[in-house]
A = this chain, B = another copy of it.
Amino acid sequence: RIVDFPVSVVLPAGGTGERTGLQTPKQFCSFLGRPLISFTIQTFERVSWIQNIVVVVAKENMDMMMDIIQRFQHKKVQVIPGGSTRHRSICNGVMALGEEERSADDKPKVVIVHDAVRPFVEEDFLHKIAVAAKEQGAAGATRPLVSTVIATTSEGYLDHSLERAKYRASEMPQGFTYDVIYQAYQRCTESDLEFGTECLHLALQYCGTNAKLIEGPPTLWKVTYKRDLAAAESIIKEMLSQSTCLLTGESTPGVRSADVFQKAFGALDMKLDVIPDLMGDNARYLLKAWNFIQVSFHSSCLSEVEDILVALDATNQALLHPPIVIWVHLKRTDEKSMALAESATIMNLASTAKLRNILLYGIEVHGSEDTDRWERSAPKVAEMASALIRDRNPALVGQLLQA
């Protein structure tokens, strides 16, 4: 789905986030080592037909925001200072898009306004909003009401309840032709800028544009409370858990172990892509998978793991999310004496990898000389590896766990 007209995004991120119960405004709260707003920017950045993203932040957060842009290597982003209210901030963003130094061609046809704290909006839905906005002048996302809406008397008693089916909750994103949103902000009053919240309302009142309303998916939800940060983190972790590579090497026992592990992980609803290594065509998994499990029958060394770490580091993927590497070492019973040296080696590797946002763990399986024996451990390996992958816990890197 291509959009053949220029689209820009205004992302007001000036809120103070009192409702989260956290000191940091919620758009700057981090999970998996990255602030929420960076996840939202990433969402827009990867939509090919979006030309640029204007992030509007409070003056005192300009430096922090510039730092985030640089650290996570965001593209297409312009950061500008916000106003004292949400409307003033959005207005600043719209005006920045119209500045004279832009050529006429460069001026967006459609402006999408979104919230910095709704990171999960999907390209498909943005497409619907952009197209409807171009056609109708304005378009906005809605959701069904979750609760009954009631009117209260001035004394705090129930006056009446609204018929739920006739109303919707107005959500983000919203889209406007540049002309509509520009004129709306030109014509609206100081009181609108000070107390209003709803851009659709300005478009209606000052441009006579009845916005097209489009019901969005539940993923449009807004990170409002502290609990929502936990929910957002769990969604990202769940997504990252979906793509795991099992690297077996080319040795016969390695290749044979693939079936055993696929079955064990399958029982936990985890699908594995099995490859010998990341050479040649398989290098593409470096950009597709977020989890790598290296099966090893050698006591010798962690060189295969080192190769994965080097290759991952070269991709820059770890900038966005922490990839996980798990070394599953099937040892012979007589290899016990190696334990301490291995333990130190993996701990050192893991410390270095962690500095580059790659999380490395080890799992030892005993009795590799006896196929029946180690195969009995496979479900335990899968249980632990799956837990490490789902939790992505940086405090446990470098540990050599026992299956």
The proximity string for A residues 149-162 relative to B, scoring 1 for CB distances below 8 Å and 0 otherwise, is 11111001111111
| Candidates B143, B153, B160; contact of A147 at CB < 8 Å | B143
Cβ of A49 < 8 Å from any Cβ of B?
no
In the complex, the count of this chain's copies comes to 2
CB nearest neighbor in B for A386 = B395
> Which of A70-78, A207-215, A253-261 lies on the face that meets chain B?
A207-215
Known: A384-B395, A387-B395. A149 touches B149 (CB 8 A): yes
A200 contact set on B, CB distance < 8 A: 150, 158, 161
Q: Flag if A343 contacts B161 (CB, 8 Å).
A: no
A400 to B400, CA, bound (A): 9
Cβ of A391 < 8 Å from any Cβ of B?
yes
Interface centre among A158, A232, A393 (most CB of B within 10 A): A158
Q: Flag if B218 contacts A225 (CB, 8 Å).
A: yes
> Which of A60-68, A105-113, A165-173 lies on the face that meets chain B?
A165-173
Known: A147-B143, A167-B149, A200-B158. A393 touches B391 (CB 8 A): yes
A225 to B234, CA, bound (A): 12
Cβ of A352 < 8 Å from any Cβ of B?
no
Least distance between A167 CB and chain B CB atoms (Å): 5
| Candidates B158, B167, B234, B398; contact of A150 at CB < 8 Å | B167
A265 to B225, CA, bound (A): 26
Cβ of A47 < 8 Å from any Cβ of B?
no
Q: Flag if B227 contacts A197 (CB, 8 Å).
A: no
A214 to B386, CA, bound (A): 45
Known: A158-B200, A158-B210. A387 touches B383 (CB 8 A): no
Known: A19-B218, A170-B147, A231-B228. A158 touches B393 (CB 8 A): no
Cβ of A183 < 8 Å from any Cβ of B?
no
Least distance between A373 CB and chain B CB atoms (Å): 15
Cβ of A283 < 8 Å from any Cβ of B?
no
Cβ of A145 < 8 Å from any Cβ of B?
yes
A138 contact set on B, CB distance < 8 A: 158
Cβ of A300 < 8 Å from any Cβ of B?
no
A142 to B150, CA, bound (A): 9
Cβ of A317 < 8 Å from any Cβ of B?
no
CB nearest neighbor in B for A195 = B165
A200 to B79, CA, bound (A): 48
Q: Flag if B402 contacts A343 (CB, 8 Å).
A: yes
| Candidates B158, B197, B340, B396; contact of A211 at CB < 8 Å | B158
Q: Flag if A222 contacts B146 (CB, 8 Å).
A: yes
Cβ of A12 < 8 Å from any Cβ of B?
no
Q: Flag if B158 contacts A204 (CB, 8 Å).
A: yes
Interface centre among A148, A164, A235, A386 (most CB of B within 10 A): A148
- Sampled A-B contacts (18; CB under 8 Å): A140-B158, A146-B222, A146-B224, A148-B169, A148-B197, A149-B169, A150-B200, A152-B166, A156-B214, A157-B210, A158-B213, A159-B210, A161-B198, A218-B225, A227-B232, A339-B340, A398-B402, A399-B402
Known: A152-B166, A227-B231; 13 extra A-B contacts, CB below 8 A, are A19-B218, A147-B171, A148-B201, A149-B162, A149-B170, A150-B169, A152-B213, A156-B212, A156-B214, A158-B211, A221-B227, A234-B234, A384-B395
